[in-house]
Structure 1
Amino acid sequence: MNSVTWVYFSVTFLAMVTCVLGMAGNSMVIWLLSFRVRRSPFCVYVLNLAVADFLFLFCMASMLCLETGLLVSDSTSFKIYEGVRRIKYFAYTAGLSLLTAISTQRCLSVLFPIWYKCHQPQHLSAAVCGVLWVLTLLMNFLASYFCVQLWHPNTNLCFTMDMVASGLILGIFLPIMILSSTILLIRVRKNTLLRRRRPRRLFVVILASVFVFLTCSLPLGLYWFLLYWEEKLLQNVILLYICLSRFSSCLSSSANPIIYFLVGSQKSHRLQDSLGVVLGRALRDDPEPEGRETPSMCTNDEV
């Protein structure tokens, strides 16, 4: 076994462990937001993001098992592998678009608080989530139709679809996410210095989630959209890059529940509070007075 193969199996094992832990954390968030925490508009986004992360981690774990030959025989593994790979791609793009929507809507609510509070549609968050799920599903269906060998593969159309997806995700979603997060960070920093008050926990959650995604999940997206078509790169380099980007993307999808717990926990009640209380406090969207206990549920006021 050469060094590249050793690195591949080692990183694959770490990615599998991360996937299992991440699925447990995201399933807990889904259950709490569905039954234990009253959902606000931003809680709706977090619920959909947790579903996308859980689906991505499940598909990633399934793919890793299929690649190492642990689940099915060779006669059926290829078809299952292709289906799981496309679902993983769908979950990745859905998570990216949802995170972009979260940071953008939070940025608008900060820049235009009065207009946003008075004129926002009642079910804006649910409508945006629905549109993003449908858009990513349509985009991935077209990519699958032209790229998957089981259907009607066409290299030229497959390349065109990847370039369109690359332009949409890396050219539109990603810049909007970075711009809105940067504005939000500047605004939070300014308010913290002027008012000498801790930033709202929801601000910290959004900024931390965006930072983790950009540092951990983006390399995998760059491979899918750009490096996949680059034939001049060495095969060993591509293999190592894929291994590390998969592991880092698993860390990204697993990190959000940890972020919610760390942001929502309080030093004086870290062990006494239930998970529902901690999650509700992390997603709370109104100012938190110093030295006072915050309610344990998300409020319906977004500003």
Structure 2
Amino acid sequence: MDMTVIAWGTELTTTNGSDQHYTENIILDVLTVIVALVGLAGNAVVLWLLGFRMHRNTFSVYILNVTGADFVFLYYRFIHTLVLLFDFNFVLRIMNRFILPVSIFAYFSGLSFLSAISTERCMSVLWPMWYRCHHPRHLSAVMCALLWALFLLMSMLEGDYSGFLSTNVHHVWCPVLDFITVAWLILLFVLLSGSSLALMSRLLCGSHRMPPTRLYMTVMLTVLVFLLCSLPFGIHWFLLFWFEKYFYDLSHFYQFVVPLSCVNSCANPIIYFFIGSFRQRWWKRRHTLRLLLQRALQDTPEVDEPGESLPGETLEMSGSRPG
């Protein structure tokens, strides 16, 4: 079963469905466009700040790559939904054949980076001495580069099997690629859930619990929003793989999970700036977006005065090295 072809059929079913769902589809598409547009602006700001205006370290490298994956996903959803609204079916065919695989694996890339953040953060809390002594200096950058290369390769193969290069092994390798994708989705969900629960129990329970830092709150809120809003998108692909005979029933589920996944990608920049501005005295000090983002990635305990927790213009996280 080719997941790209199924997604294309899902979109056409949603667009050309019965009249009673037409108004509902239009409303959902308009909401998707608005959310995607807001998310693109927010993620562009975070990309600019983390890429060119701030010192990067272990966890900010992961955040930078999560933001990049969110930007790619929202860009595709924005263009794709506009095409649906104006009923350009010939453009829709081209987009689903060549661009849809990139957006799907941008979703898996974001999930992979988020799982890596949660896992590495869990290791730094559970085994702090081992983490400081044995953590490779550029592990986060190397890990992100390998994940991007992996998903770029998978998107190229998916586009190949959708007819881009018209290979002769389509019917042989397409089910294998779909199975690998579903297995990877399950593995990432297990890693994300297990590391998040372990981190939460370590910081909030027991006699040796530690006070949560802003970085901890940023990671946990990002994971929570993902589980609530973006995980149904992955579940949809999982159900398509195992229950192909219920394709037309699942197509109605698809029109709701797409706006939810866009809400997740749009909410991440809001979470960063909200955590950075939380409990700050705005009337005493002017806060720039860069300073708010630095505060959101702060891994040091809170102090009474807002300005004392950020020495200088750069933040070094305790237990991490520049990546």
> TM-score, normalization: structure 1?
0.89
Cα distance in 2 for residues equivalent to 1:49 and 1:212: 14
* 2:218 maps to 1:205: yes
Most deviating of 134-143 and 17-26: 134-143
Task: Return the letter of the residue paired with 1:15.
Answer: T
Are 1:188 and 1:199, in contact at CA under 8 Å, matched by a contact in 2? yes
CA offset digits 1:223-280 (Å, max 9, x no partner): 2232256344373x43331111000000011111111111111434347311111000
* 2:255 maps to 1:239: no
**Partner residue of 1:88?**
103
- Residue 291 of structure 1: CA displacement? 4.3
**Partner residue of 2:270?**
258
* 2:50 maps to 1:36: no
* 2:44 maps to 1:27: yes
Q: CA-atom RMSD, angstroms?
A: 2.3
Percentage of identical aligned residues: 35
**Partner residue of 1:249?**
261
**Partner residue of 1:108?**
123
**Partner residue of 1:297?**
314
Task: Return the letter of the residue paired with 1:90.
Answer: F
Are 1:62 and 1:84, in contact at CA under 8 Å, matched by a contact in 2? no
- Paired positions, count: 297
**Partner residue of 1:216?**
229
Are 2:299 and 2:318, in contact at CA under 8 Å, matched by a contact in 1? yes
- Residue 148 of structure 1: CA displacement? 4.3
Query: Residues 115 and 210 from structure 1, CA distance in 2 versus in 1: closer, same or farther, beyond 3 angstroms?
Result: same
> Unpaired runs of 5+ in structure 2?
1-17
Cα distance in 1 for residues equivalent to 2:32 and 2:275: 25
CA offset digits 1:35-74 (Å, max 9, x no partner): 222211111111111111000000111111222336xx55
Are 1:205 and 1:260, in contact at CA under 8 Å, matched by a contact in 2? yes
Cα distance in 1 for residues equivalent to 2:149 and 2:157: 12
Query: Residues 230 and 213 from structure 1, CA distance in 2 versus in 1: closer, same or farther, beyond 3 angstroms?
Result: same
Query: Residues 280 and 268 from structure 1, CA distance in 2 versus in 1: closer, same or farther, beyond 3 angstroms?
Result: closer
Cα distance in 1 for residues equivalent to 2:198 and 2:243: 35
Cα distance in 2 for residues equivalent to 1:156 and 1:280: 49
Cα distance in 2 for residues equivalent to 1:198 and 1:148: 53
Query: Residues 120 and 146 from structure 1, CA distance in 2 versus in 1: closer, same or farther, beyond 3 angstroms?
Result: same
**Partner residue of 1:126?**
141
Are 2:178 and 2:241, in contact at CA under 8 Å, matched by a contact in 1? no
Query: Residues 146 and 252 from structure 1, CA distance in 2 versus in 1: closer, same or farther, beyond 3 angstroms?
Result: same
* 2:147 maps to 1:140: no
* 2:279 maps to 1:267: yes
Cα distance in 2 for residues equivalent to 1:8 and 1:150: 33
- Residue 301 of structure 1: CA displacement? 3.7
Which residue among 161, 166, 170 is the counterpart of 2:177? 161
> Unpaired runs of 5+ in structure 1?
none
> TM-score, normalization: structure 2?
0.84
Cα distance in 2 for residues equivalent to 1:100 and 1:75: 37
Look up the SS of the partner of 1:233 in the other structure: helix
Task: Return the letter of the residue paired with 1:53.
Answer: D
After the TM superposition, which parts of structure 1 deviate over 6 Å for at least 4 consecutive aligned residues?
none
Cα distance in 1 for residues equivalent to 2:280 and 2:176: 55
Are 1:4 and 1:240, in contact at CA under 8 Å, matched by a contact in 2? no
Q: 1:11-26 to 2 correspondence within 5 Å?
A: 11-26=28-43
Task: Return the letter of the residue paired with 2:179.
Answer: M
Task: Return the letter of the residue paired with 1:12.
Answer: D
Which residue among 18, 27, 32 is the counterpart of 1:10? 27
Are 2:97 and 2:159, in contact at CA under 8 Å, matched by a contact in 1? no
CA offset digits 1:138-173 (Å, max 9, x no partner): 222223322447634835532231111101221x11
